Amino acid sequence: MSSTLDLEHTLATLRPILWQALEQLRQFSHHVRELTVQDKGGDPVTIADEAIDAFLRHALQVHFPPTQFGYLTEETYTPRQPLPQPYQWIIDPLDGTSDFLQQTGEYAIHVALVHDHRPCLAAVVWPEQEVIYTAIAGAGAYRETRQGATRLRVQPPPEGQPLRVVLSRSHAGERLQAFLSTLGPVQQIPMGSMGCKTVSICQGEADLYISLSGRSAPKDWDLAAPDLIMQEAGGAFTYANGELPHYSCADVHHWLPLVVGHPTVSRWVGDRLQAFLQENQGYSGK
């Protein structure tokens, strides 16, 4: 493998695999009530998670052998040292399993290719919308349907309207609610998958997402793909202190508070969030 990977060719190779995964996951969605649900550290796991994970890994390894590409997936992860390969695929085969089971339609597939601890290629697949969102570092982000692709560009919030905040149905807590109350008029929009939240901001359907870790924290496979898509759409996907997340490190957890949105919003929200957490003695880095 050359030291510089052809990312356009890599995405062209990945694209039909993603469409196949989309169709497979939609087939599972038609039989949700027949799926056995297991508990994995407090999160639900089904045969759909495992089947899509296996499909993606096997399909990708035909073109990107594990001797040269690392594979970090939610369903196969075990704590270990960072993968040694120069490029690593980070995969969440079903982000938003709870929403998948509740049939809200807000679940997604995340696939990111990471180099030097930052994503260089990413895809978020929204099966119920039959849309694939893609990004290559330095080349923009796109919304792809079977009819074609359109460029994504994050817009600042409309003036004079409440700030539209997407938040988790299952992980929004009292601390986040207390902080949101300091931002003035806010419209809260409950939503499932992190990928769905991120692209809703990219498409102008929401303005802001905030993650405050508690007993748990988002992991690499939750964030890596949405991160690059937001950044390449002209948005900000950073910790509250303005730093970019890094991936495929020793710890896959992201404990620092996360702020996602248009840069003009994320900067002042990040500053206010840090001050809020310090004032409430809730900011310790984790």
Same domain, 215 and 132: no
Report d(CA 151, CA 133) in Å as an integer. 10
CATH number for the domain that contains residue 138: 3.30.540.10
Taking residues 14-33, report their average pLDDT. Answer: 93
Q: How many CA atoms lie within 13 A of 44 on its CB side?
A: 17
If one compares 38 and 68, the residue with the highest pLDDT of the two is 68
Amino acid 286: pLDDT? 41
Whether residues 189 and 119 fall in one domain: no
Residue 251 CB partners (closer than 8 Å, separation 6+) = none
On whether both 54 and 128 belong to a single domain, the answer is yes
Provide the strand spans (E) within 161-263.
163-168, 186-191, 208-211, 236-239, 258-261
State which of 130, 151, 172 marks the end of a domain: 151
Nearest residue to 109 via CA among 152, 56, 42: 56
pLDDT score at 43: 73
pLDDT of residue 280: 85
Please tell me the distance from the alpha carbon of residue 110 to that of residue 93, in angstroms, as a whole number. 6
**Three-state DSSP state, 257:** coil
Q: Is residue 2 part of a domain?
A: no
**The pTM is what?**
0.93
**Burial annotation 88-115 (CB, 10 A radius, 16+ → b, else e):** bbbbbbbbbbbbbbeebbbbbbbbbbbb
Burial of 224 (C-beta count, 10 Å sphere; 0-12/13-18/19+): buried
Strands 258-261 and 208-211: antiparallel
Task: Decide if 40 contacts 20 (C-beta within 8 A).
Answer: no
Identify whether the C-beta of residue 195 lies closer than 8 Å to the C-beta of residue 126: yes
Task: Report d(CA 8, CA 196) in Å as an integer.
Answer: 24
Query: Where among 151, 184, 206 does a domain terminate?
Result: 151
| 108/239 same-domain check | no
Domain ends where: 151, 178, 199?
A: 151
Rounded Cα gap, residues 260 and 201, in angstroms: 8
DSSP symbol at 116: T
Name the amino acid, one letter, at 25.
L
Do 24 and 51 share a structural domain?
A: yes
178 in the same domain as 144: no
Examine the pLDDT at 151 and tell me if it is beyond 60: yes
CA dist 244 and 232 (Å) reads 13
- The pLDDT confidence band at residue 3, using thresholds 50, 70 and 90, is low
The reply to whether 226 and 169 lie within a common domain is yes
Q: How many residues does the chain have?
A: 286
How high is the mean pLDDT of the chain? 92
How many other C-beta atoms lie within 10 A of the C-beta of residue 123? 26
Radius of gyration of the CA atoms of the chain, in A: 18
Q: Which one-letter DSSP state was computed for residue 68?
A: T
Q: Same domain, yes or no, for 135 and 231?
A: no
| pLDDT tier at 2, thresholds 50, 70, 90 | very low
Q: How does residue 150 score in pLDDT terms, banded at 50, 70 and 90? A: very high
Domain containing 22 equals: 7-151
- Whether residue 81 is found in the same domain as residue 183: no
Backbone phi and psi for residue 162, each to the nearest 5 degrees, phi listed first:
-60, 145
Judge if 191 and 112 occupy the same domain. no
The pLDDT, as a whole number, for residue 196 is 97
Instruction: State whether residue 210 is helix, strand or coil.
Output: strand
- In a domain, residue 284? The reply is no
Q: Is the pLDDT of residue 123 over 90?
A: yes
Number of domains in the chain: 2
| Token duo for residue 234 | 């002209």
**178 and 147 belong to one structural domain:** no
